[in-house]
């Protein structure tokens, strides 16, 4: 059994910053994540995508942010348990017993759930032969933007990921942005930048109809609501239709759930269970903003709450 001051579930940016906030208060944490590395969505979905809303950092990528956070917590010598999922928790004598799917057992007065949106997978592009090209010509995230240098790319989606990547990749490739609606959900500023730079061919009220090619994609056919078809020469398809989120066993822990999020107070982000805190995208409260910087604030206050249970006889 591993004894610690805090068990953190989730090694995304918010979980990593919580390690720092706990560490400077002298608290030891163990971090569990079902991915194979730290970084959460930042690493899985947009390691190369620019992030603009971290205070004091004009621009960084998801990968750079993760590396900097890991560097920041290095002095605390935190143990990470990757490729593991928390299966069950129970309370014994005011201590939480946490068991993973690999039969690892932790005991701690505190749990911080920083699990983002839970385990996630991208919504697939539903078109004939999509599976044949997935991972080769069809991608749902970008790990290395250099592979698209000088290529023809068709990007599907209307949110921030689609707009951000269309803008970024238009610097090195020929990009067509296709969305099934006229209105985009992404940031208006990015859309204005796209229209201003004029390099991206934007097609609205179209959806993919078919893929043409042999071993690799050669072109696609998109179809409008009125039935009009357009053929677009394409080397790669990037599809950003959002994520399917799966919370897994968290839903069975007796927490105060609101749809797919956990309700918390705004004093220390504690849930309805004493000693269990939730921070980042997984928590909800009035006025909640799903931003990394909001998660950092939540982690700082949750760390104070953890101190009270970990060292009840000491003053912070």
pLDDT higher than threshold 90 for residue 84:
no
Cα separation, 81 vs 83, whole angstroms: 7
Amino acid 232: pLDDT: 96
User: What does the H/E/C string look like for 12-46?
Assistant: CHHHHHHHHHHHCCCCCEEEECCCCCCCHHHHHCC
Q: What is the pLDDT of residue 282?
A: 92
Residue 125 pLDDT level (bands cut at 50, 70, 90): confident
* % of the chain beyond a pLDDT of 90: 71
Decide if 134 contacts 213 (C-beta within 8 A).
no
Residues 6+ apart with CB under 8 A from 198: none
Q: Is the pLDDT of residue 120 over 80?
A: no
For residues 243 and 222, give the distance between their C-alpha atoms in angstroms, rounded to a whole number. Answer: 23
Residue 109 CA to residue 1 CA, distance in Å, equals 14
Taking a C-beta distance cutoff of 8 angstroms, is the pair 5, 109 a contact?
A: yes
CB–CB of 69/17 below 8 Å? Answer: yes
Return the pLDDT at 118: 62
pLDDT tens digits for range 238-288: 999 877 666 677 888 899 998 889 999 999 999 999 999 999 999 999 999
- Is residue 74's pLDDT more than 80? yes
pLDDT digits (tens, 9 = 90+) for 133-184: 998 999 988 878 999 999 999 999 999 889 999 999 999 999 999 999 999 9
């Amino acid at each position: 059994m591993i004894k610690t001051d805090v068990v953190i579930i989730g090694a995304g940016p918010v979980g990593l910053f919580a390690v720092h906030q706990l560490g400077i208060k002298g608290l030891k944490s163990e971090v569990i994540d079902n991915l194979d590395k730290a970084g959460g969505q930042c690493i899985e979905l947009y390691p190369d995508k620019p992030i603009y809303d971290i205070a004091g950092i004009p621009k960084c990528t998801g990968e750079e942010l993760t590396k900097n956070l890991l560097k920041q917590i290095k002095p605390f010598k935190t143990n990470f348990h990757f490729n593991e999922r928390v299966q069950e928790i129970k309370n014994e004598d005011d201590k939480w017993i946490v068991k993973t799917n690999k039969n690892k057992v932790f005991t701690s007065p505190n749990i911080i759930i920083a699990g983002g949106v839970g385990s996630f997978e991208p919504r697939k592009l539903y078109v004939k032969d999509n599976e044949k090209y997935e991972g080769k010509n069809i991608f749902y995230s970008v790990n290395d933007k250099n592979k698209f240098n000088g290529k023809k790319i068709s990007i599907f989606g209307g949110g921030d990921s689609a707009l951000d990547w269309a803008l970024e990749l238009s610097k090195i490739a020929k990009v067509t942005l296709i969305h099934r609606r006229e209105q985009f959900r992404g940031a208006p500023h990015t859309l204005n930048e796209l229209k201003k730079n004029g390099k991206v061919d934007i097609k609205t009220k179209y959806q993919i109809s078919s893929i043409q090619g042999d071993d690799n994609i050669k072109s696609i056919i998109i179809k409008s609501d009125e039935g009009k078809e357009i053929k677009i020469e394409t080397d790669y398809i990037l599809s950003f239709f959002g994520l399917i989120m799966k919370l897994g066993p968290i839903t069975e822990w007796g927490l105060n759930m609101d749809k797919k999020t956990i309700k918390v107070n705004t004093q220390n982000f504690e849930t309805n269970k004493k000693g269990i805190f939730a921070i980042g995208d997984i928590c909800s409260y009035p006025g909640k903003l799903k931003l990394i910087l909001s998660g950092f604030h939540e982690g700082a206050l949750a760390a104070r709450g953890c101190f009270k249970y970990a060292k009840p006889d000491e003053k912070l």
